[in-house]
Every structure is written in C-alpha cells, then in structure tokens.
Amino acid sequence: MTMTLNYAWMSALSTFRNAKFVIFTAALPVIMFLLFNGLYGDQTSSAGMSAGVYLMISMACYGAIGASLNAGARIALERQTGWNRQLRLTALSPQGYMIAKAVVSMLVALPALALVFLVGGVVGHVHLSVGSWLLTALVIWISIIPFAMLGLVIGFLGTPDSTQPISMLVYIGLSILGGLWVPLENFPAVMTTIAKVLPTYWVAENGRDAAAGVGVSATGVLVLVGWTILLGLVGMAAYRRSGRKA
C-alpha cells in the first residue's frame, strides 16, 4: 500500500506539472458553460431546476470526465518509453498500479470540476447553499470513477498516437449520448433509453439530484458500479496483456 501511495503521488505531481494539460481540460468546460449559460441561463429545465444550475452541473461533469479520461491515456506514452516495463520489475503489484493510476485520474479531475463551479457561482449567478455546493461536487467526483477505469483501458490498449483520438471520440460520443451537451428531452425517446445505460448520464443525474436535495438514484449507483467493475476487469486484463507484449 505504501508503494501504491508513493507511486500515485509521483504520478500526480508529474501530471500536474503539465500545465497545458491542466489548463486545457479545465478551460474548455468553463467556456462551454459560459456560452450555454449566456444563451439559456434565464430558463428553467423540465424538472424545475434553473438552467444555470443544470448547465453548470453538466459542464462540470463534462470537464471532470475529460480530465480523468485523458490522464489515464498517458499510460500509452509510459509504455512507449519503457517506464511501464521498469515498474513491473518493482514490488508494485498490478492491482496497486491500477489503483494508483485511478487515483491520479480522479485527482486530475478536481481542477476542472472546481473551476466550473467557481465560475458558475461568481459569473453564472448560480445560488446553492454551502452544503449543496459541497455535496454536489463530492457526488460528481465519486461518480466519475468508471471514467478513471476507462482511461486506463484506453491507455493499455492504444498506442501513443491512437490514444488521444480514441479518448476524444469516446469522450464526445458518451457526452452527447449521455445528455451533457443537449437535454435528452430534445432527442427521440430511444435516446433516453440508451442514455440510461451509460455512465455519463448518471454522473450528471446524480449531481443534479444532490443539488436539488434529493437522494441519488439507486439505479444510477448500480449502473456506475457495474461499469466500474467491468472496466476494472478489462483494465486488469489489458495490463497483463501489455506485459506479455513488452
């Protein structure tokens, strides 16, 4: 466990030193929030939530998901440079490696999440109680765990040249299908059915439930846990496979 924590700490420091990565992942969702809020901020969603709160949560989820995915995709570069091969010679277990990388992906998601919330409160005129702010941020942050796993899978299966486009396609596709960009009521009914099996939908839905002061959906929790387990197993298999090819 000590080695896992030490490796997670070193990986986090390395990731945060990449200022361009941190700024880009945090700035894009803020820009999108300001754009959408300027257009629709004075409206109310079909559930009775103000559009400002609805959009802020959607873009905070969008930013946190993107940061966690891209952090995991850095694994492909480590594999190319031989760093991953060197780690296999240490006492760091495969499970420890996966946990450390997942922790880094979760930590990298925090700046994007926090910045969107900050802009939402200061510029977007979003008003929530202190407890609601903290609870909503915590619920969203915990809910992105499946995407930390997904980033690892992409990093192990892809190459340094392919991980970025794969991550972007997955990121944008899941964001659109999960209703982060456009509310699902604007799509055909079949899209809602599809969305409810995707983790992106439930990350945002859990955040909105927290902001509204209601309990998160049990269905949403089960979907997110299911995706986490599935992607974790795929990630472990991909890690072992990459070791055999090294």
Cβ-contact 166, 70 below 8 angstroms:
no
Pairwise CA distance, residues 240 & 246, whole Å: 10
Cβ-contact 23, 15 below 8 angstroms:
no
Q: What tokens were used for 185?
A: 């009521």
Cβ-contact 210, 220 below 8 angstroms:
no
DSSP string for 4-63: HHHHHHHHHHHHHT-HHHHHHHHHHHHHHHHHHHHHHTTSB-TTS-BHHHHHHHHHHHHH
Count the helices and strands in the chain (H runs, E runs).
12, 0
Q: What is the pLDDT of residue 39?
A: 79
Pairwise CA distance, residues 110 & 126, whole Å: 19
Q: How many CB atoms lie within 10 A of CB 103?
A: 18
Pairwise CA distance, residues 199 & 59, whole Å: 15
Query: Domain count of the chain?
Result: 1
* C-beta pairs of 6-13 under 8 Å, 24+ apart in sequence: 7/87, 7/92, 7/96, 7/97, 7/100, 8/99, 8/100, 8/101, 8/103, 8/104, 11/100, 11/101, 11/104, 12/103, 12/104, 12/107, 12/108
Identify the sign of the CA torsion 30, 31, 36, 37: positive
Q: What is the pLDDT of residue 132?
A: 93
Q: What is the pLDDT of residue 91?
A: 64
Q: What is the pLDDT of residue 170?
A: 93
Q: What is the pLDDT of residue 45?
A: 66
Q: What is the pLDDT of residue 239?
A: 78
Enumerate residue ranges in the chain where pLDDT < 50: none
Least Cα distance to 99 among 5, 233, 228 occurs for 5
- Domain membership of residue 138 as a residue range: 2-245
Q: How many CB atoms lie within 10 A of CB 223?
A: 20
Pairwise CA distance, residues 35 & 81, whole Å: 40
Q: What tokens were used for 106?
A: 């979760």
Least Cα distance to 67 among 32, 38, 105 occurs for 105
Predicted TM-score of the model (pTM): 0.87
